[in-house]
Amino acid sequence: MILPDCDVFDDSLVLSYKENIELITKLIEEGPQYLDKFVDEQKKKDSAVAKYIRRLRKRLERQAESIRSERKKGYMQKLRALQKNREARMKQTQTEMLKLTDEQKLLQDRLNEILENALLGDDFVKLVIDSPLDLEEEEQGLMKRILAGIIRFFMRIGGAIKRFFIWLSRKLRRAKPLAEEEQELKRPKLLFSFPAIAGNLDDIDSKFGNALFTSPNLRSEMEKDMLKKKRFRRSRLSWRKRFKKTKYVEDAKRAFYDRLEKKMKKKVEKVKAKQKALSEKAKDLKVQEKHVNAETKEEEKRLKAQRKREEEQIRKQLSSVPKEKAKSKVTEKLEYSGYITRKEGELNITSQLVDRFADIVFSAEISNLPMAYHAIYGASDVEGIYERGRLRMIDEISRMDIVESMVNARIRHPYDTHIYEDDVITYRDKRGANNHVILMFDKSGSMDENDRIQAAKKAVLALYKAVKERNPRNIVDLVAFDTKVEVMDLLEVWKSEAKGFTNTGEAIKTARTLLQESSADRKLVYLITDGLPEAYTENEEVFAGDTDKSLNYAISQAKELSYVQDVHLTMVLLEAKEKIYLDAAQRIVSASNGKAVIVEPQELAAEMIMDFVAL
């Protein structure tokens, strides 16, 4: 519920007399479910319900406008907060992106420095750089120098011969790749790709030989690397070290560069791994940025959808709430009046509603009768004697007891200042003769044709009111019969449905039982039916289908009825098209010194009222 509760809406809904009559009549005919239809129908008219709905709708529209304004304000605040949060998150993401970019750039810029520091920080590189440029020849013995010179001479001659044969084999296309020790010594490409290191390599090249022979640690480590490659045995390595120093130095330098390259590769890989991690983090930030945008758009979409739903709810409530409130108000009035009851959430009509409907039917029938009957119901047989009672006919409003009516209204609905039709207490003339009237109607299956059952029920209600209006002390019993017989109240009469067979004899027997102990001045029996007796009772068991036995049973019971003092039977035939129906009725009423009349369903109520008045 978006709109505020309108219980504080103190404008009353007062139905006119005509609207009340229409509502009560339709409730009787269609049941409590008619309330929705009643409100819909009244909305289209210039009625009390329509005016109530218009007033309530205007009030709700003002409230709705206020609510819309508040909701819009809240919606805009949420949107601004959402945008602000998005901007803050985007700013934070962009700051982190810039920081990552700076770190990547700084890492790239510092790569040369990192590699140079790693190179110069190597213990063996330090040994090489810190070593002297040349060995002093004087430090060697004379014989050793002579021997070394001789050996170098012969080795050069052997080398020249070897190179000649290699050249010759190439010419003869049988050349073999140069042995590794004969290949040109090349510096690692990785080291040369960094200018800061390349300058240091020249210094390493120039000092490596001296460092190799002056540093046992360097020499030991390089020899280990050379032996691992299985190029030499230790004896051959010793021979080279002593007599082929240049090749020995080249082999050692090659091993030294391999070691440096591996170390530099690890440093480069470490830097690249860090760069890759920074790149992955940058990707994550971009994904996060997209997620923030998508999340913001989704939240904006949700807020818009929510606002649309709320607006739709307001629109529906502006349409439905006034109608529901009007229905609730009408229902409340009906409950105050005792016309409907609520049981387990379901509304049901009451005997009081049927009684009020009987007033309406009676009033309508009287208004259509000749003026003589108006005069009869307006005259008093006993002058100056009155009794107080609830309003039955609108004509009685002139004899309203104002004080009692106001007290009754205050008790029934203390928070409503209006006096309704059901609150009115009137003075009513007491009538003369005391009557005991039995109103019996056929509710067998055939009565369902042409709505004869409805006509019979309305006639019973109208005559019930005619009898009571004539003298409130009159006794009225209501009896319905089909295969079985039931004594009913007003509500049960109206709820009766057509079914079964016509047990006329048992109905007359019931009337006799009700009248035997009656002390009324007059005893009147009205029996409404549409056909022949079809069932009879024998030894308290009901039989159907034998019309002759059924008719004889009805005649015998009519005869028994005639023994009741001051009794009069009137048998009313509805739509008796065949002579056999009238003949059967005549035989029944003759047995009880009564009479039979034939009427059409639409004329039934009026005929019965006139017949009662004429007696």
Q: What are phi and psi of 548, to 5 degrees?
A: -65, -50
Given 429, 451, 484, the domain boundary residue is 429
Residues 414 and 544 in one domain: no
Q: What are phi and psi of 176, to 5 degrees?
A: -110, 155
Residues 63 and 50 in one domain: yes
Question: What's the confidence (pLDDT) of residue 545?
Answer: 86
Given 238, 259, 280, the domain boundary residue is 259
Question: What's the confidence (pLDDT) of residue 137?
Answer: 42
Q: Are 578 and 532 in contact (CB under 8 A)?
A: no
pLDDT tens for residues 212-221?
Answer: 777 788 778 7
pLDDT tens for residues 298-338?
Answer: 999 999 999 899 889 888 888 888 888 999 889 988 998 88
Q: Are 358 and 464 in contact (CB under 8 A)?
A: yes
For 328-339, give the DSSP string: HHHHHHHHHTTS
Residue 391 included in any domain: no
For residues 206-217, average pLDDT = 77
Residues 359 and 343 in one domain: no
Nearest to 281 by CA among 293, 273, 292: 273
pLDDT tens for residues 256-285?
Answer: 778 877 877 887 888 888 888 888 888 888
Residues 410 and 454 in one domain: no
C-alpha–C-alpha distance, residues 218 and 122, integer Å: 12
Residues 102 and 117 in one domain: yes
For residues 408-429, average pLDDT = 70
C-alpha–C-alpha distance, residues 122 and 215, integer Å: 15
Residue 142 included in any domain: yes
Residue 507's domain is classified under what CATH number?
3.40.50.410
Residues 101 and 153 in one domain: no
Residue 171 included in any domain: yes
Residue 557 included in any domain: yes
Q: Is the pTM of this model over 0.75?
A: no
Given 221, 241, 259, the domain boundary residue is 259
| Long-range contacts at 284-287 (CB < 8 A, ≥ 24 apart) | 285/93, 285/96, 285/97, 285/100, 286/97
Q: Is pLDDT at 64 greater than 50 in this prediction?
A: yes
pLDDT tens for residues 221-265?
Answer: 777 777 776 555 666 666 666 666 777 777 778 887 788 778 778
Residues 567 and 506 in one domain: yes
Residues 593 and 519 in one domain: yes
Residues 101 and 212 in one domain: no
Residues 373 and 476 in one domain: yes
Residues 189 and 297 in one domain: no
Give percent of the chain above pLDDT 70.
Answer: 75
pLDDT tens for residues 453-483?
Answer: 999 999 999 999 999 888 888 999 999 999 9
Structural domain boundaries, residue 97: 1-130+260-348
Residues 273 and 205 in one domain: no
9-20 burial code (b ≥16 CB/10 A, e <16): beeebbbeeebb
Task: Tell me the range of 327-331, 364-368, 437-441 where mean pLDDT is highest.
Answer: 437-441
Total structural domains within the chain: 4
- Residue 8 pLDDT level (bands cut at 50, 70, 90): very low
Residue 392 included in any domain: no
- Spell out the residues 6+ positions from residue 560 whose beta carbon is closer than 8 angstroms to its own: 508, 509, 512
Residue 444 included in any domain: yes
Residue 390 included in any domain: no
